[in-house]
Chain A
Amino acid sequence: MAKIPNYRLPFEAPIVEMEARLVELEERYTSARTGEESAANEIAEQVRRLRRELIGLIRTVYANLSPWESIRVARCDARPQTRDYLTLLCDQFIELHGDRAVGDDQAIVTGLAHVGERKVMLIGHQKGKTLAERQAANFGCAHPEGYRKAMLKMRLAEKLKLPIVCLIDTPGAYPGIGAEERGQALVIAENLREMSQINTPIVCVVIGEGGSGGALGIGIGDRVAMLEHAWYSVISPEGCATILWKGAEHAPRAAEALRMTSREVLKMGIIDDVVSEPLGGAHRDHREAGSNLKSYILRALNDIERQPREELLDRRYARFRKIGVFTEGD
C-alpha cells in the first residue's frame, strides 16, 4: 500500500484528507481490474479526476498561505536541509571540519564541492533530522566556532579563487553561556566585516529559516536569494511576539507585522531573487527543489562573472550600502 506522508502542517489537513481518499480509490481500482471492465474504467476515471483535483487543491492552499503558515513550511521536518542539498546538488563534496581553535560546530557544514561544472566552497547551516542530529547541531543554532569555521573556509576559497555558496537555515545564533563566553557577538560582527572584503564571488540563499544575526553571519554576498517559503527577519516571530505582545502565542501576528516572507523581502529590495519551490513546498519533492536551487546558483554565479571582476567588491559594498529608509531635510 502506498504510504501517505503527513507533514503535520495544519493547513494541509484537506490535502491529507484528499490524498487518503485517492489512495483508497487507487486500491479499489487495483482490485477492480480483475473484475468487470466497465466498473474498472469508471474507477479509473474517478482516480484521474481526483488526481487533478488534488493538484488544484494543493495549488489553492499554497497560493493562499498566511505568513505564519509559510513559516510553518520553512520549519517543516521533512523540508530539505543543507545536507540534503549536498546530495541533490553536488557531484562531489569533501567536508572540511573545524575552526582550528575550539571545535567543530555541527550547526554549520563546510566543504569543497562540485556543483554542475563548477567547483565551489559550500557553507550551510544544518539543523539535523533525527533527535540525535538535532541535539548535536543545536537545531541549527551555531556557536562562535561555527562562524569562525565558516570564515576560515571562506578564506581558503578566496585563496583558491573558488566562488562561495552559503545556504542559510537557522532559527538564530545559539543563545547560551558558552556562546557568550566565546564571543558570539564578535564572530558575527567579524564575519559581516570580512565577508564584505572576501575577494571571490559569493551567492547566499536562505533555504529555510533566516533568523537574524545568525543568518546574516554567513549572509553577505553578491547575490542573496530566498527559497519561496523561506523566511528572513531581524527577529523570530516568537521573539518579537514575546517582546511586543508579551507572549509567543502571538507569533502569527508578529510574522505578519515583520514582513518576513520571501515575497515581502523581495519587494523591499533586500534580496535579489526568489527561488520557486515545487508545488506544495520543497518538502514534497526534494529532487525538484534541489534542481531549482542548483540552476539558480549556477545562473547567479554566471551573472556575477559577467560583471568586471575588479568591480566585485565595490558592487557588493553598494548592494548593502543602499539599504535603508529615511528622510532628510526639514
Chain B
Amino acid sequence: MAQKRPGSASTWQEHSESKRVPEGVWMRCDGCQATLYRKEVERNLSVCPQCQHHFSINAWERISQILDQDTFEEWDANMRPGDPLSFNDRRPYPDRIKAEQERTGLKEAAVTGQGFIKGMRVVLGVTDSGFIMGSMGSVVGEKLTRALERATEQLLPVVIISGSGGGARMHEGIFSLMQMAKVSAAIARHSKAGCLFTSVLTHPTMGGVAASFASLGDVILAEPKALIGFAGPKVIQQTVRVQLPEGFQTSEFLLEHGFIDRIVQRSELRSTLAELLDYASA
C-alpha cells in the first residue's frame, strides 16, 4: 500500500479493494511504482522485493504459504450461501454469488480445515478478501463456527487469517450480523477449553469482521500496512469532517495504540505461527 493520504475519500475505493498481483510478465508495484518481473514477485510470496508492499493473495495461496506441504484437509467445502432476503442490487444475489465463484474459483469467502505447521496440528480458517470483499454471510459464519467447535472438541489451536473490506455482508442482511455473535460465542467456548486462538489480520480487515472474530485472538498478528478498523475511513471523514491522521487505521497505528501484538512480514508469518503454536503445545 502506498503512503497516499489514506484518509482521503478518493483513495478509499483503492484502499478497501484487495489488489492482487496482476496478469502479464511485467507489473507495476502499487507501493513504490517500480516495474517488477511478475514471477519474481510471486516467488517472493507476492511481496514487492523493492519496497515490501504486500499484495493481497487468495485463500489457497495463503494456505500453501502457511501449512506444511499437502497437509491441508478442507472442511465443509461444499457449503454455499442461500438468499434469505431475495436480495437484488443491480443483479440478484444468487447471480452475484455465481459470478464471484466463477471469478475466484472459490465457493465462498472462507476456506476452513485442518493441517500442520512445522509438524504441529492446527485448525485453520482463511477469509479471502477477493470474494465479495471478503464479507461474512451465513457460510463464512457457519464454517468458522464449525471449525472452532471441532477445534474445541479436539483441543486444537486455531489460526484465522482475515481479509475483509466488506465486514458483515449486507446482501444477507441481519443473518450476517448474527454471524458475528455466533462465531464470537464459539471463540468463547474454545477459549474456555484452554486453547490458543491466533488471529492474523491482513489488508483490509474492517467492519463486522474486525468487530468479531478478527479482534478476539489471544494473540493478534498483522501484516504490514494493512487497513484495519471498525468504520471505513470515508464514513469517518464524512462524520468528523477533519483530515484523518497520517497512517490512520493501519497495522502500525493499531500496534502503537495497543490493539495488536506484532506486525509480521509475510515471509516470517509461517515461522512466527510455528513459534507461537509451540508455546501452546506445552
Contacts and interface: CB of A to CB of B under 8 A. Distances in A.
Contacts of B170: 234-235, 240, 243-244, 258
A155 to B, nearest CB: 14
Contacts of A184: 211, 229-231
A240 B26 CA distance: 38
A244 B244 CA distance: 25
A180 B76 CA distance: 35
A175 B174 contact: no
- 10 smallest CB-CB distances across A and B, nearest first, come from A175-B231, A324-B138, A196-B185, A325-B82, A192-B184, A185-B210, A184-B230, A189-B215, A185-B230, A234-B177
Interface in B219-237: 228-232, 235-236
A320 B212 CA distance: 14
A323 B244 contact: no
Contacts of A258: 85, 170, 173-174
Interface string A27-58: 00000000000000000000000000000000
B212 A192 contact: yes
Given A177-B236, A257-B88, A324-B182, A185 B188 contact: no
Nearest to B136: A234
A328 B230 contact: no
B112 interface: no
Contacts, number: 190
Given A186-B215, A324-B138, A177 B79 contact: no
Interface of A: 173-177, 179-186, 188-190, 192-194, 196-197, 212-213, 216-217, 219-220, 232-235, 239-240, 243-245, 257-260, 265, 268, 270, 316-317, 320-321, 323-330
Nearest to B259: A183
Nearest to B235: A175
Contacts of A244: 89-90, 170
Contact of A212 (B175, B177, B191): B177
B187 interface: yes
B198 interface: no
B211 A188 contact: yes
B10 interface: no
Interface stretch (B38-46, B61-69, B139-147, B269-277): B139-147
A216 B180 contact: yes
13 contacts: A177-B240, A180-B248, A234-B173, A239-B235, A244-B90, A258-B174, A259-B173, A268-B174, A270-B174, A320-B178, A324-B139, A326-B80, A327-B80
